[in-house]
Structure 1
Amino acid sequence: MSFTLATWNINSVRLREGLVARLLTEESPDILCLQECKSPVEKIPVDGFRALGYEHMIARGQKGYNGVAILSKRPVEEVAAYDYASLGHARHIAGRLEDGTVIHNFYVPAGGDKPDRTINEKFGQKLDYLTAMRDAFHADRPERSILVGDLNIAPREDDVWDHKKMVKVVSHTPVEVEHLGDMQEAGGWVDVTRKDLPEGRLYSWWSYRSPDWDAADKGRRLDHIWATPDIAGAAHGSRILRACRGWQQPSDHAPVFATFDL
């Protein structure tokens, strides 16, 4: 089985329904994983996506915040939706394809502005969430699985526009990178994007605060596609569709793609 998968923090699926439809029409991935849907599940505009061939959806949602969904041309069966760190947030959904491949779609907490859990509760929640993911993967090491989503951490020096300036900024601090690495190691996850594109700067997010995001290019690679070692070698064709960041009323994230020949 061969399929192309994309992951995209859409920053409101209802507000940006047209952008999702455009991506599905122009790029036609077999599976699209969305984060930050900001919608109860029953209000996700699924009818329009079904009309484009995406007849299957599994999702977790909440009004105005968080939310994850998997849209698929192929049948997908929900197998889990964990509330890691018991935050009460809709941040995870997992589905199994017909061939047994499991796809985990995550929206890891952003962590607020200050990288200090003693003064910033949100930063503590982020670290606790990653720790809970680590412990879960230690207890039940995944096989034939793909992990995607907005993990809200740019781990490598070339995943940010300026490592020295960013090292004390939430999303690139050493403690976050360490927590992400521990979680990745616990699951044996392979960073598919960097397997395919090992060299050079890569970004998937550019702040709304930049008046000219494209020219300034102060990006971060916050969005990831990982796979377990037993199928990571079947992945290829990784790319980040930067052009989407320039669409009208865009998300501040760009979608990330990979193809799997299983």
Structure 2
Amino acid sequence: MRVATWNINSLRLRLDLLRRLVQQEGPDVICLQEIKVEDSLFPLADLHALGYPHVRFHGMKGYNGVATLSKLPFRELDPTDWCGKGDCRHARVVLPGDVELHNFYVPAGGDIPDPAANAKFAHKLQFLDEMRDHFAAAPRAGGSAKGKAILVGDLNIAPLEEDVWSHKQLLSVVSHTPIEVEKLAAVQQAGKWVDAVRQVTPPPVKLYSWWSYRSADWTKNDRGRRLDHIWVTPSLAKRVRHATILKDMRGWTQPSDHVAVIVDLD
């Protein structure tokens, strides 16, 4: 099973890029974040035409929103309303084999890494705490009855030194601050999650999945961050056969600032 996650940064704007991703990589399951479309306008027919008869979407007008596309049938579960904001940042389904799949879009957190001065950063830290508590309270790792689960999405944190272009320069930049890294690690520990991409490509190799639009030429200095992740529970970790980040997507016409991450499971 090939699973892809991608912050598409507007589904309707980038349907052609999604079509290209499908043709090039053929994922069985695609999890999208920041779809930026309310449910009444969701382009369901277009996704069916791409070969995904099973679609779970949870969106809102203009920003946020997640969608899970699958060639395989799934059972829908109610999303959790994180932080009581109703801002459409989570979708979960159960795939064949009782594999629970979580699709997350964690808040970006704004520019100031101080929860007292920045409500967006406070929201991000609260969101991570609620994720930690949710998975800590689950009956088995990942919240699945048999401990088989996958967590994917734009988690908006680059946890390792090798996940950013400069560890020292980004220590005070939102997405790589010590408190964010600590809280993400607590989420990972609570669910006994394994970072599938880093299992395949461990440090010291640098890996990025996001490059800012602010850079005139993102390829010139390659100042990226690995904000997009695929985690699996231990019972699935031994079934990971391949993992890759599709860096070339950042150079496509009118791209998202994120690229897709793909993991193959046996």
TM-score interval, smaller chain: over 0.9
Instruction: Decide which of 185, 189, 208 is 1:185's aligned counterpart.
Output: 189
- Whichever residue aligns with residue 71 of structure 2, its letter is K
**Structure 1 residues 75-86: aligned runs within 5 Å:** 75-86=73-84
Q: How far 1:99 sits from its partner (Å)? A: 1.5
1:131 has 2:129 as partner: yes
Residue identity (%): 53
- Whichever residue aligns with residue 195 of structure 1, its letter is Q
CA distance in 1, matches of 2:78, 2:194: 21
Q: Which whole-Å deviations, capped at 9, do the CAs of 1:30-88 have from their partners, x for residues lacking one?
A: 01000000011232222122112111100110000100000111112211301112122
Instruction: Decide which of 202, 209, 213 is 1:208's aligned counterpart.
Output: 213
1:49 has 2:54 as partner: no
- In structure 2, the residue matched to 1:173 is 177
Q: How far 1:119 sits from its partner (Å)? A: 0.6
1:196 has 2:228 as partner: no
CA distance in 2, matches of 1:138, 1:258: 25
- In structure 2, the residue matched to 1:155 is 159
CA distance in 2, matches of 1:70, 1:76: 10
TM-score with structure 1 setting the length: 0.97
- Whichever residue aligns with residue 116 of structure 2, its letter is T
Instruction: Decide which of 257, 260, 263 is 1:258's aligned counterpart.
Output: 263
Unaligned runs of 5+ in 1: none
Q: Which whole-Å deviations, capped at 9, do the CAs of 1:148-189 have from their partners, x for residues lacking one?
A: 000000000000000000000000000000000011100000
User: Conserved in 2, the CA contact under 8 Å of 1:17 and 1:45?
Assistant: no
CA distance in 2, matches of 1:46, 1:196: 34
CA distance in 2, matches of 1:41, 1:196: 36
Q: How far 1:20 sits from its partner (Å)? A: 0.7
The size of the alignment, in residue pairs, is: 259
State the SS of the aligned residue for 2:126: helix
CA distance in 2, matches of 1:201, 1:46: 37
Q: Which whole-Å deviations, capped at 9, do the CAs of 1:185-235 have from their partners, x for residues lacking one?
A: 000000000001103100000000000001210000000000011111101
- Range moving further from structure 2, 244-253 or 21-30: 21-30
Instruction: Give RMSD over aligned pairs.
Output: 0.8
CA distance in 2, matches of 1:25, 1:239: 17
CA distance in 1, matches of 2:61, 2:128: 24
State the SS of the aligned residue for 2:235: helix
Instruction: Decide which of 132, 144, 150 is 1:146's aligned counterpart.
Output: 150
TM-score with structure 2 setting the length: 0.96
- In structure 2, the residue matched to 1:94 is 92
- Whichever residue aligns with residue 62 of structure 1, its letter is M
CA distance in 2, matches of 1:231, 1:146: 8
